[in-house]
Chains A and B, each alone.
Chain A
Amino acid sequence: MSKVTDYVDNLFYLMPRTDQAAEMRQKLMESAEDKYEALLSWGKNEDEALGIVVSEFGSMEEICAELGVEPIGMDADARQARLAGDYALLGRRFSRGLGFGIVLCVLGLVACIMLEEIYYAADAVSVSALLLLGGLGAAVITASALRYTRGKRLLQMGLPLGDELRERQNARIRRAEKTFSSIIMLTATALFFFFGVFMNAWHPAWVFFPMGGVLCGIISTILETMRTK
């Protein structure tokens, strides 16, 4: 959708999900879109048009009052302090995610080398361990980078990473924890049977289980620390 939709969506991000708020959002969106299109048709470019729409949009405090919702961060000082805190939090989260991702990648390398040199495992086993851990590390890095960008954009629009957002993020982390563990253990089982049945390598292949277990442990610990209080 257009930039206007994004803008209005962001303003409503922390609003309660009521029918009334949804209706208000819809109407404001209609009018802002109308204005935006009109400005474009008068030869303004997208950025100019968005600038005008935003400058004439007004303040969400009015809408909060109308919907009977407590506006978030009415006090300018408190808002400033909160914004600074949120930026710091965002930075901490990002570096934690980055660190965890790098640790996973290194772990993949170590596991690969150990399997090759100490356990004399088949190449396929060690390479899959490397790919599994390395891929997971890359995924963690990408996810935390994406989250960082999203959070930063939110903060730039003057919206705090509110409690609701934190709560939702925590719920998402809990879900992710479950998904990760089941995927890891399923993969371990699949790899165990695959190498056991097709390569008759039951003996070195059992390491997938303790490896999976350790991985689950690591992930749940890290995710636990990623949960915001």
Chain B
Amino acid sequence: MIGSDILRGYNDLIVLGLLSEKDSYGYNLLQEIAARSGRSYQMKETTLYSVLSRLEKNGMVRSYEGSETQGRKRTYFHITGAGFQYFRDKCTEWAETKDLIDRFALRPALAPPPERAALDGIFANERSPAPKGESK
């Protein structure tokens, strides 16, 4: 489970990304997020709706009342032109962030040769289960 603190800055991106595919409503967005993250991220209701409310206030999304199901009304959200622009900016920001962090994170392929051997060892250990008898 990934902590919601780390994702805080990217909730906008996640929601806009889904809305850029098609208009959607609250529960469906939450379902979709859980499903695509392989259940590793369950966005809270309050998080989703504070994101949506902020985006709506800033003109990134628009809400409208959709078809009624079982007599209950349902609010759909639609991404606006400004929302698409913001989404693209956020995606660029993420690519840059990812690139930056990757330069520091453990990645065997990027490390200089002497350390690479050591790192390869670490990764190999992580990948293969610990030999029997040595487990702590």
Contact = CB atoms under 8 A, between A and B. Distances in A.
A63 B26 contact: no
Contacts of A149: none
B127 interface: no
Nearest to B53: A66
Interface of B: 25-27, 30, 42, 44-50, 52-54, 72-75
A32 interface: yes
Interface of A: 24, 26-28, 30-35, 38, 56-60, 62-63, 65-66
A60 B49 CA distance: 11
B45 to A, nearest CB: 5
Contacts of B48: 31
Given A33-B72, A66-B53, A28 B46 contact: yes
Given A30-B72, A30-B73, A66-B53, A56 B27 contact: no
B46 A59 contact: yes
A144 B54 CA distance: 43
A35 B75 contact: no
A65 B45 CA distance: 15
A66 B25 CA distance: 19
B45 A66 contact: no
21 contacts: A24-B49, A24-B53, A28-B46, A30-B26, A30-B27, A30-B73, A30-B74, A31-B25, A31-B26, A31-B27, A31-B30, A33-B72, A34-B26, A38-B27, A56-B42, A56-B45, A57-B44, A57-B45, A58-B44, A62-B47, A63-B50
Main secondary structure of the interface of B (DSSP, over half): helix
B8 to A, nearest CB: 10
Nearest to A32: B45
Contacts of B52: 27
Nearest to A26: B75
B46 A63 contact: yes
A109 to B, nearest CB: 53
Given A27-B49, A27-B75, A30-B74, A35 B42 contact: no
Contacts of B50: 62-63, 65-66
A60 B30 CA distance: 18
Contacts of B30: 31, 35
B75 A59 contact: no
A190 to B, nearest CB: 47
| Interchain residue pairs A-B with the least CB separation, the first 5 | A58-B44, A58-B46, A31-B26, A34-B27, A66-B50
Given A27-B75, A30-B75, A58-B44, A63 B49 contact: yes
Contacts of A24: 49, 53
Contacts of B25: 30-31, 34
A26 B25 CA distance: 13
Contacts of A57: 44-46
Nearest to A23: B53
A67 to B, nearest CB: 8
Contacts of B49: 24, 27-28, 31, 63, 66
A59 B44 contact: yes
Output the residue of B45, B50, B53, B75 with the most chain A CB within 10 A.
B45
